[in-house]
Amino acid sequence: MESVKMQDRVLVTGGGGYIGRHVVRSLLDLGHVVTATVRPGSSAEIDSRAKVLTVDILDPQLDVTTLATMPFDRVIHLAWQDGFSHNAPSHMLQLSNHFSLLDRLVSWGVTRVAVLGTMHEIGYWEGGVDENTPTNPLTLYGIAKDSLRRSVFVNLAGRAEIQWLRCYYIHGDDRNNHSIFTRILNAVDDSKTTFPFTSGINQYDFIHVDHLADQIARVSSLAGAIGIINCSSGVPTSLRDKVESFIVDNALPISLEYGAFPDRPYDSPIVWGDSTRIRQLLNPGT
């Protein structure tokens, strides 16, 4: 796999988001020239080495040619409203705006587009997930992402290199997400000493946001690396073990109250992203 030249001009949409800020930094560390978009009114702190554009990137009337004097070498599309609220109506209401944006960028001359996917496209699944695993999303978020994935491969794949970067259970920088780790930190802030929990036996593919950002930044740099690519650890870990480690590693004065909530029947007992392809792409010959 041939890597593109360094110092690519990269547009990162959603550059002020939870994942976006880390991807911007990883790209800059790799030597790329980065332009990051943020929403009007955003107070996100973005690496000062990046150019920041305050713009509603999903505005269907936006003239994408105003974003730069020439097309970017590649685009990493991370922008997504209400990503932590999986049944928000906005996922479906804005679906066509995401497709329209990517279509306009490719028509302008962008030749490589990486879009952030999610394991929520899959729905209920037991075992490893690869690029051939059938999708059956159970939330509006998953349905919208899955629909966008299908549409860009149908319409844009013949006009640009398309990467669908499917991520899994993200942790790290936990003050800025809405994960169980965030809720535990908030409980400690409220002086609580116990945290109501399930059995914690379900196993998921956890990946630190910095590791995820590094994968996204590096694999999006590879010419010819197209299609669905899992950005994952490839290792299933029980929720119980991950949360207990989080408490110990951060010396939090709180303990888990096991069995306070029942295990949800629609949660996969074990699911992970098959990381074979991304390991081969980023570490050829291993």
Instruction: Kindly list the catalytic residues.
Output: 141
What is the C-alpha separation between 31 and 39, in angstroms, rounded?
Answer: 25
For residues 274 and 205, the answer to whether their CB atoms sit within 8 Å is no
Q: Facing residues of 128 across strands?
A: 272
Residue 43, token pair as written in the block: 């107070």
For residues 254 and 195, the answer to whether their CB atoms sit within 8 Å is yes
Q: Facing residues of 116 across strands?
A: 165
Residue 133, token pair as written in the block: 């695993």
Q: Tokens 């959603």 map to which residue? A: 14
Closest CA to 128 of 209, 230, 219, 239: 230
For residues 195 and 257, the answer to whether their CB atoms sit within 8 Å is yes
3-class SS letters over 24-61: HHHHHHCCCEEEEEECCCCCCCCCCCCEEEECCCCCCC
DSSP codes, 50-98:
SEEEE--TT-TT--GGGG-SS--SEEEE---TTTT-TT-THHHHTHHHH
If DSSP codes are grouped into helix, strand and coil, which group holds residue 195? strand
Residue 62 class from Cβ within 10 Å (0-12 exposed, 13-18 middle, 19+ buried)? Answer: middle
